């Protein structure tokens, strides 16, 4: 998605060979017009998937998900993160390890909002090692829901999450795929290129 | 706002005389169309305030804020919550005590995204004791920014946050004001009524 790639080139900060900071439009400050475009793009790419619900993770997944939900006319559910494992009834939970933050969170949703009749589009801001997406897929499995696919704003193509999830036969649509952050430069994967 | 009041009556769960749960459309599952209406309503109520930026708090403030930002064509900044007080450069921080959750969080924003030229609309999902709004106002004060006003989705009119903030001469626009949750029933304040 060209407008997203331009935004990343203009405003993204390459902090290391693996860390890209996009706090000016996605992770701290949010650009609502860009989110709207992103939502419309997800809606277009999953137009034929019969999506009944979007599942994301607080906090940075919420803005793109709500815009996709607006276009697709479906509700959005955001999983909550907790540090401690608390046992509460009627929750579907999974553990998600973040390699970047070096911490494990429990993520959970109420069983009220996703069930076996749902066809769910999972949306998240970043895809790196794929741990968050696997956690959300685990939750969908517990709910007996179907997975329509995975929509990602920015995929770190040099990490293995995208490959791992695509190899399961799941449709993963990443609106920008970064192949390298070497020497402080962002290099995008060409559209259509596989790796 | 009639559509919001209907939604609260139809889907809200009164858990006690002070607790209303609206997890089906605002705090866990999100209704994107309703959020869009809410965003448009905030935009209309603060149309003449010269707003340059919206400030909210993760996670439930994000959806209504992004929709308001889309209509008003301004960026949204969401403050992050942390349990522990970590000293990081270039952050504006404040402590916010939640009476409901009986915990104190540090909320913070990067100093990069709000400055003394900004006229900021503060948006949040709930207003009860007003501690979150006071924390966000504290942050704006540190940034030297101006406060355009406060937009709230649901105000608990029987708690004192709204009164306290309005007494400071600040424009507070709550799209639904609840006067009572007694006996499991939601009673709204009539529009235009002061208390």
The number of folded domains in chain A is: 1
Give me the mean pLDDT over the B95-122 stretch.
92
CA-closest candidate to residue A108, choices B46, B23, B85:
B23
B151 falls within a domain? yes
* Confidence grade of residue A85 (pLDDT, cut at 50, 70, 90): low
**pLDDT above 70: residue A155:** yes
B111 falls within a domain? yes
Cis peptide leading into residue A59 (ω within 30°):
yes
B9 falls within a domain? no
**pLDDT above 80: residue A70:** yes
**CATH no. for residue A33?**
3.40.50.2020
Question: What pLDDT was estimated at residue A30?
Answer: 98
What domain range includes position A152? 2-185
Q: What is the ipTM of this complex?
A: 0.95
Query: Does residue A78 sit at the B interface (CB-CB below 8 Å)?
Result: yes
Which pLDDT tens digit goes with each residue over B49-89?
Answer: 999 999 999 999 999 999 999 999 999 999 999 755 555 67
Beta bridge partners of B155: B127, B177
Enumerate the residues of chain B whose CB falls inside 8 A of the CB of residue A30.
62, 65-66, 69, 75-78
Instruction: Work out the minimum CA distance from B66 to partner chain A, whole angstroms.
Output: 6
A111 falls within a domain? yes
A190 falls within a domain? no
B186 falls within a domain? no
Determine contact, residues B135/B108, Cβ cutoff 8 Å: no
């Amino acid at each position: 998605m060209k407008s997203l790639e331009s935004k990343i080139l203009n405003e993204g900060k390459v902090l290391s060979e693996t860390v890209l900071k996009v706090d000016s439009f996605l992770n701290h400050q949010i650009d609502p017009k860009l989110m709207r475009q992103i939502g419309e793009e997800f809606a277009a790419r999953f137009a034929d998937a019969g999506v009944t619900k979007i599942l994301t993770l607080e906090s940075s997944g919420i803005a793109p998900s709500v815009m996709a939900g607006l276009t697709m006319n479906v509700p959005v559910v955001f999983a909550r993160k907790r540090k401690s494992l608390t046992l509460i009834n009627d929750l579907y939970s999974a553990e998600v390890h973040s390699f970047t933050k070096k911490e494990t969170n429990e993520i959970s949703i109420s069983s009220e909002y996703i069930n076996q009749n749902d066809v769910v589009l999972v949306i998240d801001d970043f895809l790196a090692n794929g741990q968050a997406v696997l956690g959300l897929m685990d939750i969908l499995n517990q709910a007996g829901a179907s997975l329509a696919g995975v929509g990602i704003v920015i995929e770190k193509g040099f990490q293995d999450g995208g490959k791992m999830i695509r190899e399961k036969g799941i449709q993963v649509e990443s609106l920008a795929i970064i192949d390298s952050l070497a020497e402080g430069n962002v290099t995008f994967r060409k559209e259509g290129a596989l790796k």
